[in-house]
Structure 1
Amino acid sequence: MSSVGAGALLEVLRAWPEAPRDAMPVDAQALVSAAARHGLAGFVQHALGRSGLTLDEPVRTSLRREALAQAARGMRVKTLLMRSLDALAAVGVVPVLLKGYGLALRLYPEPLQRATTDVDLLVADAEVGKASSALVGLGLRPLGEAAAAHARAHEHHLTFTGAAGMVELHFRALVGYGQTLEAEALLARAEEAVLEGRRVRYLRAEDELVYLAIHASNHLLQRLAWLFDLKLRVLASPGVDWGRVVEVARGTAFPHLAWYALEAAQRLVGAPVPQEVLAALAPPAWQRRMAARFFTLGGCWRRS
């Protein structure tokens, strides 16, 4: 992906909820390619349409095609999500929705404007058995016995796949860098909600900010959508308790991972993260210098 395309996409994301300040880049197709690569084709189409900026017909057609393809994939995932929720409800399990459609529904102008590829559900460890059986009942294939045993001991989710798509059943929030983010406290603080008549739960705002930040850094900030999610999550919760965010991050094994993503979200897409929060979570200077190399994808995200 070109730095031109990445730069143009960053301008759109930084400006939101206002219109982009600059005219379209000379290589508008690079913007379309970047938007598709980062799972934001639908959102970029919406943002440019609202701004009144116009694209040449070939580029506009390309963006529309990418947005429609993304939406079609999103509808497929949503269908599987609803079926999964119904199956879990039948055995008395109300999961926490992680990322995906549930997040996009709450943060984006329209949920299908953000790409999603699978269903991520978080349940208590004691619920894994009956939740797994419910998902198998949908025709999804579980991991083999040995792989499932390894996942239960060393990973944070079990994977179920089939013609309808993929469900990741999380029993830990995250495992990475030899550390684990357990789920019990997050589940205890999760908030009840309703999604199209179905009971669901979402992480509390402070917990979700930390989780999203750690998840993004654990995957080396490979998608700008993950940073933009953080910006939108902050904007959606103007009363967020930043002291609690720091406390939650420090209470995990990954406080520096939270800093990497929150700092990048502030710097690159304009997320309103207070400077004192970043200072409280910042790793040593040498780690910050290393982050400038490893969390910029070859310099595409680097800004002065």
Structure 2
Amino acid sequence: MSCLPARNGTGFRPDSRRDPRAPLPLTVGRSLRNMAPMEPYPSRPAEEALLLRCARLHDDGQRAAATSEVLAERSDPLRLMDLAARHGMMPLLYRHLDAHAPGALDRGVLRQLPAYCHATRFHNRLLARELLAACRLLRENDVLAVPFKGPTLAVLAYGDLALRQFGDIDLMVPRRDVRKARDLLSEMGFMPARPLAANREGIYLDNYHAYSLEKGEIQLDLHWRLAQRSFGFDLDLALFSGRLSLVRLLDEEIPTFAPSDLLLMLAVHASKHLWTRLIWICDIAALVSSRPDLDWGALLAFARGCGARRMLLLALFLAHRFCGIRLPAGVRGEVEKEPHLSRLAGRVAGGLFGHRPATPGDALRFHLRMRERFGDKVRRLLTPNLEEMLRFPPPFLWLAYLLRPLRLLSARPSSSGLLPEGRHDG
């Protein structure tokens, strides 16, 4: 069995043995006023409970050690490793077991965990060097390139490049510089994973959010927005360019998004993907915990202005419940007053370790409930996604808009009673 890090959260092997009737990791009631952090009770499957224990950033000493030892003893090592890999939690699992249940590292495939994490450290440093080289090249050619997620997130939130698994590099550039940046990166060996015909490139740029570029096994996502246009969340990089901060990566300082802006972007990204990975919740918790000086009033006002306040509050609520972080009283009050968080958090809890994968209809319903502005809901519902737009030649793109509502009206409900909606990342 290979000890190399899994790419994009793939596990050690598919595990279909989980009983779909097993308890879900979190039960959310109709009221959020009882906001006590969640405890990984022994009645949950031991592997899930132990992984949830790893997500708690502030351990409570002897109690954490006693609980973790019991859970580790009850866990199936192979399923635990598979679950941790799929949720991006391998480094945090190793750190937790090494501190609180070191004997577990001698059980079965858990013996490979130290080697896996050593390989993760090497892999992350390799990607960090590629990121620095790409940033230098673009900067020398007058292209503003802002890295986010990946290496910079590991340093900003966790203070350690090795504590966060990531499978690619993410760079954001202004929309006007996308082609120039792509051509420059090709000089480094990064080539498009999905070559496009010239008459299709404009459609792609107008409707999607990133080019996927590949250099051997290294993937670089060149973003000009956070999500494709049908998601209904467009923010110009110019809004953030005046308040970028510096982060030291290896031995070099590079610009990245200010912590408050990064927090909002992480909330939007995870909401787009239905919060299906535990590490995304840990990222929110780690970033908030590492930045006690955040200007919450300004952040909430900015989130409200761009229609992402509910996504931000959901992120903070999940970080509090799963990771045990303390929220300022004012922020906690805003979370308690938000009427839709209970249902959204319940959906996240049910899907995090759920047996049935989310359907496209599940994604559409979640996205609609997540938006607080009526116009954003309409845009999410009626705007064609990239795949629908690419079905038509440029002179007939209007047909995609015409057929979109007809498609939704004529589509059969999914097994969950929802309408299918293309790709989950749209």
In structure 2, the CA distance between the partners of 1:197 and 1:95, relative to structure 1 (3 Å rule), is: farther
Give me the TM-score of the superposition, normalised by structure 2: 0.63
Residue 180 of structure 1 aligns to a residue whose secondary structure is coil
Q: What's the CA shift string for 1:23-71, capped at 9, x where partnerless?
A: 3211162443332221121222123323464215125313224324433
Q: Return the alpha-carbon distance in structure 2 between the equivalents of residues 212 and 166 of structure 1.
A: 20
Could you say which residue in structure 2 is the equivalent of 1:23?
68
Q: Is the 8 A contact 1:209 1:230 kept in 2?
A: yes
Could you say which residue in structure 2 is the equivalent of 1:6?
48
Q: Return the alpha-carbon distance in structure 1 between the equivalents of residues 48 and 234 of structure 2.
A: 31
In structure 2, the CA distance between the partners of 1:23 and 1:196, relative to structure 1 (3 Å rule), is: closer
1:170 is aligned, of 223, 229, 241, to: 223
2:75 is the alignment partner of 1:33: no
Could you say which residue in structure 2 is the equivalent of 1:179?
232
In structure 2, the CA distance between the partners of 1:176 and 1:212, relative to structure 1 (3 Å rule), is: farther
Structure 1 position 79, deviation (Å): 3.6
Structure in which a larger fraction of residues adopt strand: 1
2:88 is the alignment partner of 1:43: no
Q: What's the CA shift string for 1:169-206, capped at 9, x where partnerless?
A: 12223446631231221222212344345452121121
Structure 1 position 227, deviation (Å): 0.8
Could you say which residue in structure 1 is the equivalent of 2:343?
290
Q: Return the alpha-carbon distance in structure 2 between the equivalents of residues 77 and 150 of structure 1.
A: 30
Q: Return the alpha-carbon distance in structure 2 between the equivalents of residues 156 and 108 of structure 1.
A: 27
User: Identity of aligned pairs, percent?
Assistant: 23
1:130 is aligned, of 169, 180, 188, to: 180
Q: What's the CA shift string for 1:110-153, capped at 9, x where partnerless?
A: 31221111111112233323222211111222342355323310
Q: Is the 8 A contact 1:95 1:123 kept in 2?
A: yes
Structure 1 position 257, deviation (Å): 1.8
Q: Return the alpha-carbon distance in structure 2 between the equivalents of residues 244 and 263 of structure 1.
A: 18
Q: Is the 8 A contact 1:88 1:94 kept in 2?
A: yes
* Mean CA deviation greater in 174-183 or 147-156: 174-183
Structure 1 position 18, deviation (Å): 5.4
- Any gaps of 5 or more consecutive residues in structure 2? 1-14, 19-44, 355-426
Q: Return the alpha-carbon distance in structure 1 between the equivalents of residues 60 and 131 of structure 2.
A: 32
Structure 1 position 254, deviation (Å): 2.3
Q: Return the alpha-carbon distance in structure 2 between the equivalents of residues 166 and 107 of structure 1.
A: 22
- Any gaps of 5 or more consecutive residues in structure 1? none
Residue 168 of structure 1 aligns to a residue whose secondary structure is strand
Could you say which residue in structure 1 is the equivalent of 2:379?
none
Q: What's the CA shift string for 1:254-301, capped at 9, x where partnerless?
A: 22222222211111111323353254367863x334314431244649
Could you say which residue in structure 2 is the equivalent of 1:277?
331
Q: Is the 8 A contact 1:216 1:226 kept in 2?
A: yes
Residue 233 of structure 2 aligns to a residue whose secondary structure is strand
Q: Which runs of 4+ in 1 moved over 6 A?
A: none
Report which structure shows greater RCO (CA 8 Å, sep ≥6): 2
Residue 189 of structure 2 aligns to a residue whose secondary structure is coil
Q: Return the alpha-carbon distance in structure 1 between the equivalents of residues 272 and 300 of structure 2.
A: 18
Could you say which residue in structure 2 is the equivalent of 1:241?
295
Q: Return the alpha-carbon distance in structure 2 between the equivalents of residues 242 and 210 of structure 1.
A: 11
In structure 2, the CA distance between the partners of 1:13 and 1:193, relative to structure 1 (3 Å rule), is: closer
In structure 2, the CA distance between the partners of 1:128 and 1:298, relative to structure 1 (3 Å rule), is: closer
One-letter amino acid matched to 2:274: L
- For the pair shown, the structure with the greater C-alpha radius of gyration is 2
In structure 2, the CA distance between the partners of 1:79 and 1:56, relative to structure 1 (3 Å rule), is: closer
2:168 is the alignment partner of 1:115: no
One-letter amino acid matched to 1:294: R
2:253 is the alignment partner of 1:204: no
Q: Return the alpha-carbon distance in structure 2 between the equivalents of residues 106 and 120 of structure 1.
A: 15
Could you say which residue in structure 1 is the equivalent of 2:320?
266
In structure 2, the CA distance between the partners of 1:297 and 1:83, relative to structure 1 (3 Å rule), is: farther
Give me the TM-score of the superposition, normalised by structure 1: 0.86
Q: Return the alpha-carbon distance in structure 2 between the equivalents of residues 68 and 198 of structure 1.
A: 22
Q: Return the alpha-carbon distance in structure 2 between the equivalents of residues 74 and 148 of structure 1.
A: 32
Residue 167 of structure 1 aligns to a residue whose secondary structure is strand
